[in-house]
Amino acid sequence: MCTIILQAFLCLLLFSNVVLAENIKLDPLTVVSTRLDDEVANAPKNITIITSEQIEASPAKTIPELLSLEAGILSRSFFGNSAARSTIDIRGFGASSTQNTLILLDGRRLNNIDQSSINYAAIPIHNIERIEIIRGSGGVLYGDGAVGGAINIITKRAQAGEKSGVAKVSYGSYKTSQAEAILTLGTEKYGINIAANYIDSNGYRSNNELKQENIQTDIRRDFDRGELFIKAGASEQHLGLSGNRQVNPGANVNLLVTDRQGASTPKDFAKEDSYFLTLGSRQQFYKGVEAIIDFGYRFKNQKAFFDQSGFPSSLDSDFDTWSVTPRLSIDQTLVNLNHHITFGADVYYYNYDSNRSPTLATSNNPIHKLGVDQKTYALYFNDLIDITNSTHFELGARIQHVNLNAVDKVNRAAPGAFGTETKATDKSQNNTEEMYNLGIRHEFTNNVSVYGNIGRSVRFANVDDVYDGFSKFTLLNPQTANHFDIGVSINLEKVSASVSSYYMDLENEIHFNAAASTFGTNVNLDPTKREGIETTIELMPFTDFSIRGNYAYLVSEFDEGALAGNEVPLIPKHTASISANWNVNSVVTIASIWRYVGEKRFDNDQNNNFGQKIPDYHMWDLKLNGHYHGWATDVSLNNVLDEKAIDYAVRSTTTAGKYNAQPLPERNITLSVSYNFN
């Protein structure tokens, strides 16, 4: 179905230049896609905005690559193929980063109630209007899971009178071909934006092939003092799972050297089909007061097959997510102070059904059938107050209730069953937690400002946290974190810089403990902490040349208990990046990025006794872009120095010196050609 829609859209785009010739100038449609609204610059938080122009200029080919260039943000690629299974980590959560970094698409949550990563390849990168990065506690506005921070990816939508389109094709290393198309049409009352993307790649590794198709649309109807909008999308993905590369000095094995691109699991694969629909309305009652209500539904089916050690297994899981998120925005003067107030409610219902069987062919008659539903109800309030023109105070609070019910049905007569399988005892849990933020920003001059804030965030356990994968549900306490942030920023004509420092004190952090039982399970840890410094500086010495540097220092440690003082695995203390852009002339642009990631502990090395660390590495990427009369071509060379890096590795808990690793791609190149219809 997705393929048919995609082909029809590509045909539509090819003939759209006839329609685009008409030039209509009208008032722009109002765009509402974020709860930060227009007060981002005054909010007392460490916030970064990545614009569409910066995305176009960057050599980064995926959203995780782009985000990893920002201070304090890490990405981990498990397969190195178009970010199909990459993770984003803000402020150092390691293996649990997906559950502690909240990802939103146009303000709606993409995180599911399991530990699966976000499919970033399903978001056409050139259809992104901007990306908002909120570091630290984002729980008041966006809810649970925004512990390290929240990232809101905001897609483009039509403005009145806009008639444009883009068609782009790319080909590169590992037989990677990609096609992208965007069509945008706007009239006085209507606007439509359609974006599609297709990827076909063999991947860097054996059994690493990726096929990805997706299409998204945004339709708007403008009316007096308001608008109606519909967002919809569909995605299909097939990904080969190549497994790990083993290093075992005792057995004289080092596949990172002898067979870096090989596969340890040549039969494993994963499939994902998904679609979403959002319906909403915005109504302005009078100047400064408007209401927004939207309804959302997202469906995802995931199939995976694992053929490891002669014990094959498969998963066939359905995710249904229903949501209603009304909110009221008030921008008024009260008691002689300007207030920017948001009242809102979030209601989410998640339903998860997962069939566990030896093969996908027997998934209709599974051995284990898990059924988990989670209901979330939340009320929140946030007020950004202009005490003076130079002093801004923010306070907000959220109360959130979560109900989780988990059921395991066992069929001991199912194909592949041994007849002795144990049924997990059904579990039910109710939790209510509060989140808050309190902060102030003061501008000493037009160029210098400082801020400070405190906050509290929460993470609730998901289905993969409470189910051990075999026969047991374990209820866990909610994870809570207290945040303390301070920062200063300077903005001059040719120089801008910011420095921020933070401290997080966590209670009941949810973490995987490989030694907790025979197969390992998730547990609530003793108190842990995160603290660090994030710095950014940007220089514009010439009109056509800019250079930007980021550096982050991060300490992620167990704070109390048997592991007190130990480092949390997978977290480098030092990360840095330098990016430069040079507009050589009106036709040619050159962009360069250098990125450094420091050494870090292996996964499962909570005891810090493995005796070695995942090595540090640095990457250098280049992009040459030329554009003329609507045509554009660019050449991206990634990993110019051919660094043999690894982003993820897990230690053996039984064999000294043995570990499994996921290598990153070596030097690779991509050539792209595009045409803009305007």
CATH of residue 318: 2.40.170.20
Q: Spell out where 65-140 has E strands.
A: 73-77, 86-90, 101-105, 108-109, 128-135
pLDDT of residue 416: 85
Cβ atoms within 10 Å, residue 411? 15
Q: Who contacts 542 (Cβ-Cβ below 8 Å, separation ≥6)?
A: none
Chain centre to alpha carbon of residue 355: 27
The pLDDT tens digits of the residues spanning 464-492 come to 888 876 677 888 999 999 999 999 999 99
Euclidean distance between the first and the last CA atom of the chain, given in angstroms as a whole number:
30
Nearest by Cα to 521 from 564, 570, 469, 556: 469
Compute the distance between CA of residue 661 and CA of residue 77 in angstroms, rounded to an integer: 11
Nearest by Cα to 217 from 182, 179, 169, 168: 182
Compute the distance between CA of residue 12 and CA of residue 181 in angstroms, rounded to an integer: 10
Nearest by Cα to 97 from 135, 145, 152, 151: 145
Classify strands 659-663 and 427-443 as parallel, antiparallel or unpaired: unpaired
Locate 347 and state its tokens: 């209601």
Beta bridge partner(s), residue 324: 295, 347
pLDDT of residue 209: 94
State the total domains in the chain.
1
Beta bridge partner(s), residue 348: 323, 376
Those residues of the chain that have pLDDT short of 70 are: 1-40, 79-81, 309-310, 469-470, 514-520
In this structure, the dihedral spanned by the alpha carbons of residues 323, 108, 88 and 320, taken in order and rounded to 10 degrees, is 30
Locate 249 and state its tokens: 């000095």
Give the amino acid at 225. Answer: R
Rounded to a whole number of angstroms, the CA Rg of the chain reads: 25
Cα maximum dimension of the chain: 75
Classify strands 479-491 and 495-507 as parallel, antiparallel or unpaired: antiparallel
Contact at 8 Å (CB) between 480 and 461? no
Locate 292 and state its tokens: 């927004």
Contact at 8 Å (CB) between 453 and 483? yes
Query: What letter would DSSP give residue 35?
Result: S
pLDDT of residue 612: 95
Chain centre to alpha carbon of residue 512: 21
Range of the domain at 507: 2-677
Q: Who contacts 676 (Cβ-Cβ below 8 Å, separation ≥6)?
A: 164, 165, 166, 630, 632
pLDDT of residue 9: 41
Locate 355 and state its tokens: 């069939």
For the chain, helix (H) and strand (E) counts, in that order, are: 8, 36
Model confidence, pTM: 0.90
